[in-house]
């Protein structure tokens, strides 16, 4: 395949949908939403997949069309924009699951590039606990029982990454991959992307081998101004990611701070 391959990964509630649409805004990108969670390609790759498997996966991304992969309902509802396309040079996807496949993906496929998004864990936990579809208070789930290990949400599935312990696992993994594959793994700090969007996107596009188009520039401007923020939207009108300060249980805040103090992940707290 003569297409550059881009994978966007981050734990749930990390801003991967927004970053995915920033990449999708390029006219030269075919972009798919969570293919490894889709009906068509669920679990297609694992931590031992061969290069043949990986090639087959990206070939399918190039041609497969479905309401889920292409987020047709979200586009119809105006939650996600529709972008014009030209000559395709890149294939990209985003996932909030299946992060355990990434090291193998980088080892087997020398042509793949990965964007790993890390967001303040306090904001991640708050966003998850406030999402009715993801955190089922209607089923009697307890925040204090679930926030750390998310046992009811993850259900011991290797591919699931909810809860603080999974956030730590992925953050450490991303730091390892950045060290091992500096030319093919880019760690994206969500807070930096939120506060300095234009410069961060310029760096991300350079890493991916993409040129910034007027369509992308317009999307960046629009996405920071439009008041359409919903649970799954790609619009970011706030420059500070601090809603957790007034909403998140103080005991959870204290436990996370204590856990990360003195570690390389402490910088993501940004308190």
pLDDT of residue 242: 85
Distance CA 235, CA 123 (A): 17
pLDDT of residue 2: 86
- Residue 265: closest CA among 143, 174, 158, 161: 174
* Residue 185 belongs to domain with CATH number: 3.40.50.300
Distance CA 250, CA 94 (A): 32
Whether residue 145 is contained in a domain is answered as: no
Ranges under pLDDT 70 in the chain: 1, 226-239, 271
pLDDT of residue 258: 97
pLDDT of residue 271: 60
Helices (H), 109-183: 121-129, 143-146, 151-154, 164-180
pLDDT of residue 241: 85
Number of domains into which the chain is organized: 1
Whether residue 23 is contained in a domain is answered as: yes
Whether residue 156 is contained in a domain is answered as: no
Q: What is the DSSP string of 205-267?
A: HHHHT-PPPHHHHHHHHHHTT-----TT------S---THHHHS-HHHHHHHHHHHTTSTTGG
Residue 43: give the domain boundaries. 4-121+166-238
Whether residue 54 is contained in a domain is answered as: yes
Distance CA 230, CA 240 (A): 16
Tokens of 201: 């996107």
Cβ-proximal residues to 124 (8 Å cutoff; 6+ apart), any chain: 11, 12, 13, 14, 167
Whether residue 248 is contained in a domain is answered as: no
Whether residue 9 is contained in a domain is answered as: yes
Distance CA 179, CA 242 (A): 29
Q: Is 86 helix (H, G, I), strand (E, B) or coil?
A: coil
- The answer to whether the beta carbons of residues 128 and 162 sit under 8 Å apart is yes
Whether residue 111 is contained in a domain is answered as: yes
Supply the pTM of this predicted model: 0.95
Q: How does pLDDT run across 213-232, given as a tens digit for each residue?
A: 999 999 998 887 765 555 55
Whether residue 179 is contained in a domain is answered as: yes
- The answer to whether the beta carbons of residues 68 and 41 sit under 8 Å apart is no
pLDDT of residue 35: 97
pLDDT of residue 43: 95
Distance CA 58, CA 224 (A): 31
Tokens of 253: 């805040």
- The answer to whether the beta carbons of residues 76 and 147 sit under 8 Å apart is no
**Residue 188 DSSP symbol:** E
pLDDT of residue 162: 98
- Residue 170: closest CA among 121, 122, 229, 228: 121
Distance CA 48, CA 140 (A): 37
Distance CA 259, CA 2 (A): 45
């Amino acid at each position: 395949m003569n297409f550059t391959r881009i994978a966007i990964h981050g734990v749930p509630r990390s801003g991967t949908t927004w970053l995915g649409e920033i990449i999708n805004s390029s006219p030269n990108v075919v972009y798919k939403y969570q293919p490894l969670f889709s009906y068509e390609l669920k679990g297609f790759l694992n931590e031992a997949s061969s290069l043949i498997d990986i090639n087959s996966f990206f070939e399918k991304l190039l041609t497969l069309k479905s309401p889920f992969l292409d987020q047709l309902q979200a586009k119809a509802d105006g939650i996600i924009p529709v972008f014009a396309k030209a000559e395709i040079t890149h294939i990209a996807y985003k996932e909030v699951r299946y992060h355990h496949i990434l090291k193998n993906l980088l080892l087997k496929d020398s042509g793949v590039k990965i964007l790993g998004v890390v967001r303040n864990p306090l904001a991640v936990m708050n966003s998850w606990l406030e999402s009715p579809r993801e955190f089922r208070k209607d089923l009697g789930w307890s925040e204090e029982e679930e926030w750390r290990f998310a046992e009811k949400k993850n259900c011991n599935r290797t591919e699931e990454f909810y809860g603080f312990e999974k956030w730590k696992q992925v953050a450490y993994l991303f730091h390892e991959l950045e060290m091992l594959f500096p030319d093919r793994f880019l760690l994206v700090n969500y807070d930096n992307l939120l506060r300095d969007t234009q410069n961060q996107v310029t760096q991300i596009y350079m890493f991916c081998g993409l040129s910034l188009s007027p369509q992308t520039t317009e999307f960046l401007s629009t996405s920071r101004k439009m008041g359409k923020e919903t649970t799954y939207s790609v619009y970011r009108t706030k420059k500070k990611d601090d809603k957790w300060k007034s909403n998140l249980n103080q005991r959870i805040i204290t436990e996370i701070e204590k856990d990360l103090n003195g570690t390389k992940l402490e910088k993501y707290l940004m308190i």
